[in-house]
């Protein structure tokens, strides 16, 4: 994979020019894209800035984010060839930092469940996950050092685990969603895919103007970790649970304080209402597409929107109230057990075989609803070579702590 920090180190040292770094990404795309199929479109003669903290870095942009230089097609024939006039806010910020939004990456239609044609570069024949399929696969294949995704249920954390890359879903609202096709305004969150945790930290610090999010040379100490395996959804698969046990053993050996914890009942209630909130808002966000192009929607999305028409405002309001109560109790849960972070699965197991499904988001939906920062850390593979990941979760707004703990896990598992 291409490390963002490694490329920038070479550029700063003068051993690599920004133009040569972009050319390297272009060559990798030429070599791998015919098989991986992670991209919808890309620039053929990009303007490469010579200056800027991200100069020389090629970025993949999930195709529900507006780009002025490339079409934004939402993974749907409804928007074939559609060209926005302006960049999404996050794309504009990347350009100001010197990065080159080189390609639009595949997304399931409107970032829902109908699969793309993207292949998992780590294990062909298995899904790369979704909805941010192309972004995860492009980074995993070594075509791009940074790619943008979005998460409404589990669309950053899960595909990152399936493809063996780092995926970060920051705190809700930390990255602006202006210029992004909305599915659920209460849940939609922008995220990043990179080769390593330090790469994600550096990119997020620059993109948000918050240098404190970057990893520092100072030793942050060993984290206090609560292991949570929710009892209100189906358990994880044996290979994923074995990986979590290996991670636990490694970080305990390194001095981390780790304990098993059970979430209070309000979180089970909130988990069960994620769909009510998502569906009520999706029915409104996609009202024009549903009313005028229903036949052109993917079969899974079409059926889902059919059912979503029945969600009433009273049910939606009640679900929001429960979610708000859970969000307010989560800091107390961290404080009661003196936790820095929660550790859990990124996905129920390795990437499922075939391409009919993008996988199950049951280990992601609650945390998306809580708005908290989450990081997938790759932690090896199954005997068959399928990547596995674990998920590190911190309090709302405590993205720096999530990053530090994820780096701690990554370092111990690499060692």
CB atoms within 10 A of CB 159: 37
C-alpha 75/C-alpha 133 separation (Å) is 11
- At residue 139, the 3 state secondary structure works out as helix
Domains 4-213 and 224-266+318-414 in one fold? yes
C-alpha 190/C-alpha 334 separation (Å) is 24
Q: Domains of the chain: which residue ranges?
A: 4-213, 224-266+318-414
**pTM strictly above 0.85:** yes
- Contact (CB, 8 A) for 102 and 22: yes
- Cα 88 to chain centroid distance, Å, stands at 17
C-alpha 104/C-alpha 113 separation (Å) is 19
CATH classification number, 224-266+318-414, choose in 3.40.50.2300, 3.40.47.10, 1.10.3720.10, 3.90.1300.10: 3.90.1300.10
25, 27, 30, 35: CA torsion to nearest 10: -70
Catalytic residues: 62, 131, 155
367, 135, 148, 326: CA torsion to nearest 10: -10
Quote the pLDDT of residue 335. 98
Class of domain 4-213: alpha beta
Quote the pLDDT of residue 220. 84
Q: Say which residue the tokens 């391409």 belong to.
A: 355
Q: Are strands 146-151 and 166-169 parallel, antiparallel or unpaired?
A: unpaired
In order along the chain (415 residues), what is the average pLDDT of each group of 10 residues?
A: 97 98 98 98 97 98 98 98 98 98 98 96 96 98 98 98 98 98 98 98 98 91 96 97 98 97 98 98 98 97 98 98 98 98 98 96 98 98 97 98 98 87
């Amino acid at each position: 994979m291409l490390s963002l920090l490694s490329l920038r180190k070479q550029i700063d040292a003068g051993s690599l020019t920004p133009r040569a770094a972009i050319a390297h990404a272009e060559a990798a795309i030429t070599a791998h894209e015919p098989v991986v199929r992670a991209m919808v479109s890309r620039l053929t003669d990009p303007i490469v800035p010579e200056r800027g903290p991200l100069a020389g870095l090629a970025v993949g942009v999930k195709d529900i984010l507006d780009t002025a230089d490339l079409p934004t097609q939402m993974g749907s024939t409804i928007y074939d060839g559609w060209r926005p006039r302006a960049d999404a806010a996050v794309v504009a910020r990347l350009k100001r930092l010197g990065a080159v939004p080189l390609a639009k990456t595949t997304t399931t239609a409107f970032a829902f469940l109908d699969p793309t044609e993207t292949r998992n570069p780590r294990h062909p024949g298995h899904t790369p996950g979704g909805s941010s399929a192309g972004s995860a696969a492009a980074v995993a294949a070594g075509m791009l050092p940074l790619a943008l995704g979005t998460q409404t249920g589990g669309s950053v954390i899960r595909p990152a685990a399936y493809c063996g890359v780092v995926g970060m879903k920051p705190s809700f609202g930390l990255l602006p969603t202006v210029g992004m096709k909305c599915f659920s305004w209460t849940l939609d969150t922008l995220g990043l895919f990179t080769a390593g945790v330090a790469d994600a930290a550096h990119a997020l610090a620059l993109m948000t103007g918050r240098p404190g999010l970057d990893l520092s040379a100072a030793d942050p100490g060993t984290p206090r970790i609560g292991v949570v395996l929710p009892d209100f959804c189906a358990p994880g698969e044996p290979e994923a649970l074995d990986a979590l046990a290996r991670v636990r053993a490694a970080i305990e050996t390194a001095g981390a304080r780790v304990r098993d914890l059970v979430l209070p009942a309000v979180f089970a209630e909130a988990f069960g209402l994620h769909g009510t909130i998502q569906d009520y808002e999706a029915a409104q966000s996609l009202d024009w597409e549903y009313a005028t192009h229903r036949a052109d929607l993917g079969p899974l999305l079409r059926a889902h929107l059919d059912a979503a028409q029945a969600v009433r405002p009273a049910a939606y309001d009640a679900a929001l109230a429960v979610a708000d109560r859970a969000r307010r109790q989560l800091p107390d849960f961290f404080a009661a057990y003196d936790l820095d972070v929660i550790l859990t699965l990124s996905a129920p197991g390795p990437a499922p075989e075939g391409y009919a499904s993008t996988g199950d988001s049951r280990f992601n939906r609650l945390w998306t609803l809580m708005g908290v920062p989450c990081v997938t850390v790759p932690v090896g593979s199954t005997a068959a070579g399928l990547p596995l990941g674990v998920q590190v979760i911190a309090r709302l707004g405590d993205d720096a702590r999530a990053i530090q703990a994820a780096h701690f896990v990554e370092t111990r598992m690499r060692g």
